[in-house]
Copies of this chain bind each other. A is one copy, B any other.
């Protein structure tokens, strides 16, 4: 079924196809259409939509529904996402699967409602306390808003961990063709959940481990799980990277600008290529190292002051020089701007 669809709405369509039947949230621009679509569609499939009194309330309801074994989600933008950090840390500590969509707006503080990518640290490094990781997916199209949301639910259950879908205001607000295919959601058994039945009465969902050795053992178990994800789940896309002299790195809306910049550069005889991370955590570090093995320079472009660039530098570990170009406040670099930066990179290579 092909349709023209807004990115934020595509999130909900994907979620429902993935078997999500519960949404708890509080609206915030530019993520509000997600709440609106959830309010409209979830009741139609026998699901629950609830506008909570705050993001703190919402994320704790997500915790409750996840503990009961439901496929559950919420969505927000920066300020709301910040308020959810305690809850996210609890979800990770309790190994509860859930999907959280962050449609990033300008910050810090109130900022504005224009697109940024400045929640990277908050989502990827972990804005809440303690040793944990969120899985983070970065869609670059309306189709991916739906597809990666579906994937997010599967990963959440596979790893019993919160999965974030981090989009930006552009991807959330734009309309593009969306192809939806019905599939029977593969929801695993959750024998650990508290389902209100006699046999699950003994189950206890908690993140508390009072004894140091107990908490350390729990942490080691989490780390083993994270290592597994780092091995199996990195996702990325390459474009004209094979013979590139300069490798552009960017995600989300930025990757679309970079793709055009690659094409423009190639027209001018500059061998540019593109590496687009699809998973921000686990970061596709090996794939990036491999893709950059023969390039002379890497240029990272972000709608931020430079956050993902740290992961790029960690991945390359000094083997290739890394440059950064960022715009913020809702300004998105144009193809021409990127060209100029590319030129500067090339020149400095001479």
Contact = CB atoms under 8 A, between A and B. Distances in A.
Interface of A: 39-40, 43, 46, 48, 50-53, 56-57, 60-61, 64, 77-83, 85-86, 88-94, 104, 106-114, 116, 118-119, 121-122, 125-132, 196, 206-219, 223, 304-305, 307, 310, 313-314, 316-319, 327-331
B108 A93 contact: yes
Contacts of A116: 130-131
Contacts of A52: 53, 57
A212 B129 contact: no
A132 B108 contact: yes
Contacts of A43: 196
The number of times this chain is found in the oligomer is 4
Nearest to A226: B305
Contact of A111 (B46, B109, B208): B208
Contact of A214 (B83, B316, B329): B329
Contacts of A93: 107-111
A207 B110 contact: yes
Given A110-B207, A215-B112, A127 B122 contact: yes
Contact of A329 (B118, B121, B213, B327): B213
B109 A119 contact: no
A125 to B, nearest CB: 4
A209 B111 contact: yes
Nearest to A63: B109
Contacts of A104: 129
Nearest 8 CB-CB pairings of A with B: A107-B130, A109-B207, A93-B109, A318-B318, A78-B129, A108-B130, A215-B329, A127-B127
